[in-house]
């Protein structure tokens, strides 16, 4: 485990007047780099050849490092190069998609904005649920055994991304029947069933509020809100029910893009309190709590109850809808504020106050 002392030693050697913001070239990199440039930072992008076009069309990157695979980030030579460039890495979804939690906490000797300890709390559904529940959020009920199912549930595979292989059931009987079908169709394995997570299906609309936890100001800001455009689930409604039955559709949740959302104002106080509570709990679990961006995945039902089913303790791609300005960032900061820029602002302020070690890990 790379601890804060080790990271502290690295940034002590940094030329903080030449601090650079770096990240992997995908996910929310344009958001991050634009924000970094607007706050006057140099930018470093670790990128695959096929994606270089993005940074030619949007020239936001000062130093482009081409890799074959994002796992090259674990390469000591590359890390040394990044340290020589005084890079602070901004983790996003591709970090956890391509690297394991252990690799991120043990083998990445470059300062990251964020709290590495929380990666472990985020990594598996059980501990994540514990965190959110202890924070006092409303979570969908979970069921220990398929035999306990007494309402509509969503069955989730461990660590699956994009909902592939997830299915719905509303009784033990329908669960076993569906599970059998899924195994037969090769969509899941028998082992998946042993580790499957059974969660009450919250019927409502998805809302993803994004927050920024400022360690410097000791405050949690609500900065953006989005919903996802998911294939194939968002297109199922285009097919009449009759045909749906005939072709036997199984919904998947592959994110293709995001829409901005402006929430009914009466829901905002609770959404704000949820952010506060999650950070407060995180401070107990892994001081100093969440550093920088985080997002709650929620469903809001027709009786306006907000259910939270997941957390990302990092920038989410949904904040890309705010590049330029999101209404929530506008309310707080006026024009031209968004998550990527807010990150850079915090780093700039940390350098100014000589508190950089408090916002990196
Ligand atoms: N409890 C739930 N109730 C209703 N819909 C849910 C629930 N949990 C997940 N979903 C839907 O399934 C999708 C994928 O679930 P999620 O837990 O976010 O898995 P992943 O690890 O793939 O991100 C969500 O985006 C949401 O649309
Ligand atoms: Mg999710």
Over residues 173-194, mean pLDDT: 92
| CATH number, position 284 | 3.30.470.20
| CATH number, position 158 | 3.30.1490.20
Find the 94 Cα to ligand 1 centroid distance in Å. 19
* Closest C-alpha to ligand 1, atom 15: 163
Q: Above 80 in pLDDT, residue 56? A: yes
What is the reported pLDDT for 160? 66
What is the reported pLDDT for 1? 80
13 and 110 part of one domain: yes
Over residues 206-224, mean pLDDT: 98
How sure is the predictor about 158, in pLDDT bands with cuts at 50, 70 and 90?
confident
| 350 is a domain residue | no
43 and 112 part of one domain: yes
What is the reported pLDDT for 187? 86
Q: Above 80 in pLDDT, residue 161? A: no
Find the 101 Cα to ligand 1 centroid distance in Å. 21
Q: Above 70 in pLDDT, residue 109? A: yes
| 30 is a domain residue | yes
210 and 309 part of one domain: yes
| 252 is a domain residue | yes
| 25 is a domain residue | yes
Find the 81 Cα to ligand 1 centroid distance in Å. 39
| 344 is a domain residue | no
What is the reported pLDDT for 59? 98
| 36 is a domain residue | yes
Cβ of 159 less than 6 Å from ligand 1: no
| 348 is a domain residue | no
Task: State which residues form the domain around 157.
Answer: 142-200
Over residues 35-61, mean pLDDT: 98
Which has the minimum average pLDDT: 79-88, 143-152, 248-257?
248-257
92 and 216 part of one domain: no
195 and 225 part of one domain: no
184 and 242 part of one domain: no
CA-nearest of 231, 233, 97, 254 to 162 is: 254
Q: Above 90 in pLDDT, residue 249? A: no
What is the reported pLDDT for 295? 98
Over residues 24-35, mean pLDDT: 98
- 187 vs 298, higher pLDDT: 298
Closest ligand, as measured to the CA of 234: 1
Q: Which atom of ligand 1 is nearest to the CA of 163?
A: 22
Over residues 9-29, mean pLDDT: 97
What is this structure's pTM? Answer: 0.96
- 159 vs 238, higher pLDDT: 238
Over residues 290-297, mean pLDDT: 98
74 and 155 part of one domain: no
Q: Above 80 in pLDDT, residue 174? A: yes
Q: Above 80 in pLDDT, residue 357? A: yes
9 and 97 part of one domain: yes
Q: How many domains does the chain have?
A: 3
* Closest C-alpha to ligand 1, atom 7: 201
| CATH number, position 104 | 3.40.50.20
| 346 is a domain residue | no
93 and 178 part of one domain: no
Q: Above 90 in pLDDT, residue 250? A: no
134 and 146 part of one domain: no
100 and 152 part of one domain: no
Find the 258 Cα to ligand 1 centroid distance in Å. 15
98 and 151 part of one domain: no
What is the reported pLDDT for 165? 84
């Amino acid at each position: 485990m790379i601890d804060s002392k080790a990271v502290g030693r690295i940034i002590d050697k940094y030329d903080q007047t030449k601090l650079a913001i770096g990240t992997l070239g995908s996910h929310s990199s344009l958001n991050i780099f634009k924000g970094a440039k607007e706050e006057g930072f140099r930018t470093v992008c670790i990128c695959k050849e096929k994606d270089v076009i993005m940074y030619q069309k949007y020239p936001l990157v000062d130093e482009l490092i081409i890799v074959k695979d994002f796992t090259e980030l674990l390469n000591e030579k590359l890390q040394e190069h990044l340290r020589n460039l005084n890079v602070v890495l901004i983790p996003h979804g591709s970090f956890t998609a391509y690297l394991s939690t252990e690799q991120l906490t043990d083998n990445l000797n470059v300062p990251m904005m964020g709290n590495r300890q929380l990666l472990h709390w985020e990594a598996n559904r059980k501990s994540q649920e514990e965190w959110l529940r202890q924070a006092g959020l409303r979570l969908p009920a979970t069921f220990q055994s398929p035999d306990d199912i007494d309402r509509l549930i969503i069955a989730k595979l461990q660590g699956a991304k994009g909902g592939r292989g997830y299915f719905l059931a509303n009784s033990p009987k329908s669960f076993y029947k569906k599970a059998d079908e899924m195994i037969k169709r090769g969509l899941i394995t028998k082992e998946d069933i042993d580790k499957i997570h059974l969660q009450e299906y919250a019927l409502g609309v998805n809302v993803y509020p994004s927050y920024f936890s400022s360690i410097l100001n000791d405050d949690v800001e609500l900065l953006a809100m989005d919903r996802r455009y998911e294939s194939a689930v968002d297109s199922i409604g285009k097919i009449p029910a009759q045909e749906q039955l005939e072709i036997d559709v199984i919904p998947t949740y592959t994110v293709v893009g995001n829409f901005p959302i402006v929430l009914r104002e009466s829901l905002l106080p609770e959404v704000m309190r949820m952010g506060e509570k999650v950070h407060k709990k995180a401070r107990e679990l892994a001081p100093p709590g969440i550093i920088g961006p985080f997002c709650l995945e929620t469903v809001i039902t027709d009786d306006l109850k907000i259910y939270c089913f997941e957390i990302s303790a990092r920038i989410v791609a949904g904040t890309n809808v705010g590049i330029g300005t999101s209404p929530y960032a506008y309310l707080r900061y006026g024009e031209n504020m968004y998550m990527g820029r807010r990150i850079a602002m915090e780093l700039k302020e940390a350098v100014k106050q000589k508190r950089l070690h408090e916002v990196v890990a």
